[in-house]
Structure 1
Amino acid sequence: MKSASIPDPTPEVADRTASLQERAYRLLKAMLEDGRIAPGERLLEAQVAKAFGISRSPARHALRSLCAQGLLDEHDGKGYVAAGQGGPSPDGPLATLDAIRIQATPQWERIYKEVEQELFIRVLFDAVRINEKQLALHFDVSRTVTRDLLARMHGMGLIVKDDTGHWLARRITPEHIRDLYEMRGLLEPQALLKSLPHVPDARLRAVRDNLTLALEGPVADSAAFDQVERDLHIGILSFCPNKEILRALERTHLVFGPTRYLFHPFLGVPVEMIQAALTEHLDIVDRLLRRDGGGAAQALHEHLKVADDRWLKRFEIIARTTRLQFPPYLAPAAPDRS
């Protein structure tokens, strides 16, 4: 329920598909740009988390993203200061933030993206084990909530149960990603050909509209990019009458996870690569609208070949990065000796 003292929700708050970190980032950016947070005013991580009803991790990521854009300056021990004329001082007044709840419901959904992001970062380095008890304690939720969350992640192929019954996220390697994209390259063009006779023109036009909005936007947007990825690779392909192909492709959906975190320094890829991917999607959808199935399937095949390279860029980024500290509910898994 909205507070009576707050105007109608901004698009950043209303967009429930974006991550908590990204919605907090957008909301703070809008406040900085329209003067609700004045130059020289300070922001604290705990203050942002409390005002927006989120945990400190997405608040921290949002504030650091604003620092990277030059909108805030970080001062150790004194928070973040809004940039402006005269040079920001760490002794400025604390900014006033209205209580705008941006967290999603149900509870498992509220914490899903934060846990998913933490997993995706660390499985690029090592396999990790999830401690369900610590997960519940960390987010102050019941074990029922954590079971719902873990079941969802299991269904997405992100985690598995090991021989001892513990939840495990296996390390993602370049070889694994190449194997998944090879599988996609073999199956998705065929699924697209089989889908085309069954996809209504209205659905294709709606997909094209989403692509146009994403391409014309001033900044690459995680939620918009995630949407266009799913529009084509899941939505349109869902019309394929061969359900065995679709079930096989579900095992490749793991690769879509990082597209929800374009602003993250490890999980994102350069903006120009995102623009190129959107342009390739548009070409495929335009061919589908012309009912050029063969051309669309060939364009999809070529798109997947370069998409593989884009995904693998993340391994180049982490190769230059030291291993990160684990949150309390994650720990390195023992090496697989099988």
Structure 2
Amino acid sequence: MTEGPDDAVSGRSPKLYQRALAVVASEIRSGGWHDAARLNETAIAKRFGISRAPARQALAELEALGLVRKSEGRGYQVVAGAESAGGDPIELASSAGPDDMQLHFLASWELIYRQVELEIVSRTSIANWRINEVALAKSFGVSRTVAREVVARLQQRGIVSKDDAGRWHAPALTARHVNQLYELRWTLEPLALEQAFANLPDDLLPALFTDLRQAIDAGDAVDGAILDAVELQLHGQLLGYCDNAPLMQAISLPQAILVAHHRLYQPKTPPITDEPFLLEHVEVFERLMAGRVADAGAALANHLKISRERAMLRIANAARGLSLPNVAYLERLRDVEFSL
């Protein structure tokens, strides 16, 4: 997060170093960093999107608070026992906006989760993997508690599972598994759409349809963020009005796994020609706005069946050219070939 020129002039945002100071101090006091974990200006600057000067000031303040000490080499080390130390919480400037406060209260596991997810997901199209919690904590300089929370969140999303011996595994993403996930989606999502329809606000469908038409009109200029937002409007926002909690829970698992892979592979693979997903969304919306809910469900199921083929091509293309470095907390168990 960086300050824009207006924020810098008006003073609406706190000083840059205060953001880093507040977050890292909170993490150390809550046990999010293990004893003697190393910190340096470069890492702090990169993590918070700031220059080295405010990163240096944040580290100096942490040292003054007794939370870190200068190491024998370069950088700083977390002080033994600092995670259980008291001390008043470090508050950001009173003029901080919602984004700043969100950063201040960010849980320790959230700060590393996305990177861990991508490192694991990126490798499941080529092999099965075992996850070592101790090595995961050491790799990121966090406590075992934080590492365990990250793995638990991965389990909730269906990305990892635990065997009978209590060891964590990331199973390979096979073509059979992708087929099964999409079969779940095209069976369950039309039912959720039907149940959600009666709960939709009157102005929601026209508003979302306008966004969809704008994405189509943008043509080749439309970017990935807009496409992801349009996809979420149908499969997340609209379906979210379904008040059948067990049904929505059943839908969330295949969605979560496939979205994780989509985020990794979609920007890195060549576009699939004649990809019609925006027009497929139009068919669903037009039927909903006409009150033809059953037809809209059929169009949604058809869209998901076509999406399965696109996902299979993307993952297969990525897997063939994938060359990734070793990760200390992942043990390679068995190679697989993602074949269509």
Normalising by the smaller structure, the TM-score range is 0.5 to 0.7
2:47 corresponding residue in structure 1:
53
Q: Residue type matched to 1:169 in 2?
A: A
1:255 corresponding residue in structure 2:
258
2:163 corresponding residue in structure 1:
162
Identity %: 34
Q: Does the 8 A contact of 2:161 with 2:169 survive in 1?
A: yes
Gap runs ≥5 in structure 2: 8-39, 50-99
Offset, 1:276: 2.2
Larger radius of gyration: 2
| Deviation digits for residues 57-106 of structure 1 (CA, Å, limit 9, x no counterpart) | xxxxxxxxxxxxxxxxxxxxxxxxxxxxxxxxxxxxxxxxxxxx9x9644
Give the Cα separation in 1 of the matches to 2:107 and 2:178: 32
Give the Cα separation in 1 of the matches to 2:174 and 2:180: 10
After the TM superposition, which of the residue ranges 221-230 and 308-317 deviates more from structure 2? 221-230
Give the Cα separation in 1 of the matches to 2:168 and 2:151: 8
| Deviation digits for residues 11-64 of structure 1 (CA, Å, limit 9, x no counterpart) | xxxxxxxxxxxxxxxxxxxxxxxxxxxxxxxxxxx9997754279xxxxxxxxx
Give the Cα separation in 1 of the matches to 2:311 and 2:322: 20
SS in 2 for 1:326: coil
Gap runs ≥5 in structure 1: 10-45, 56-100
Give the Cα separation in 2 of the matches to 1:2 and 1:335: 42
Query: Among 228, 232, 235, which residue is 1:233 paired with?
Result: 235
With over 3 angstroms needed to count, the CA separation of the structure-2 counterparts of 1:2 and 1:181, relative to structure 1, is closer
CA RMSD in angstroms comes to 3.4
Give the Cα separation in 2 of the matches to 1:329 and 1:210: 42
Q: TM-score normalized by structure 2? A: 0.62
2:5 corresponding residue in structure 1:
7
Give the Cα separation in 1 of the matches to 2:139 and 2:221: 33
Q: Does the 8 A contact of 2:126 with 2:335 survive in 1?
A: no
Give the Cα separation in 2 of the matches to 1:134 and 1:213: 47
With over 3 angstroms needed to count, the CA separation of the structure-2 counterparts of 1:50 and 1:211, relative to structure 1, is farther
Give the Cα separation in 2 of the matches to 1:126 and 1:117: 15
Offset, 1:196: 1.0
1:181 corresponding residue in structure 2:
182
With over 3 angstroms needed to count, the CA separation of the structure-2 counterparts of 1:207 and 1:192, relative to structure 1, is same
Q: Does the 8 A contact of 1:107 with 1:145 survive in 2?
A: yes
Offset, 1:211: 3.2
SS in 1 for 2:331: strand
Offset, 1:300: 0.6
How many residue pairs match? The answer is: 249
| Deviation digits for residues 180-230 of structure 1 (CA, Å, limit 9, x no counterpart) | 111222221122122211111333344335434544376554443333333
2:66 corresponding residue in structure 1:
none
| Deviation digits for residues 221-278 of structure 1 (CA, Å, limit 9, x no counterpart) | 444333333322233223224333323222312112123235643xx461656x6223
Q: Residue type matched to 1:293 in 2?
A: V
Give the Cα separation in 2 of the matches to 1:233 and 1:172: 22
Offset, 1:119: 1.5
Q: Residue type matched to 2:259 in 1?
A: F
Give the Cα separation in 2 of the matches to 1:167 and 1:333: 12
1:98 corresponding residue in structure 2:
none
Offset, 1:281: 1.8
Q: Does the 8 A contact of 2:125 with 2:319 survive in 1?
A: no
Q: TM-score normalized by structure 1? A: 0.63
1:224 corresponding residue in structure 2:
226
Q: Is residue 2:330 matched to residue 1:330?
A: yes
Structure having greater relative contact order (Cα 8 Å, sep ≥ 6): 2
The 5 A counterparts of 1:184-223 are 184-212=185-213, 214-215=215-216, 216=218, 219=221, 221-223=223-225
Give the Cα separation in 1 of the matches to 2:41 and 2:221: 27
1:111 corresponding residue in structure 2:
112
Q: Does the 8 A contact of 2:122 with 2:264 survive in 1?
A: no
Offset, 1:118: 1.6
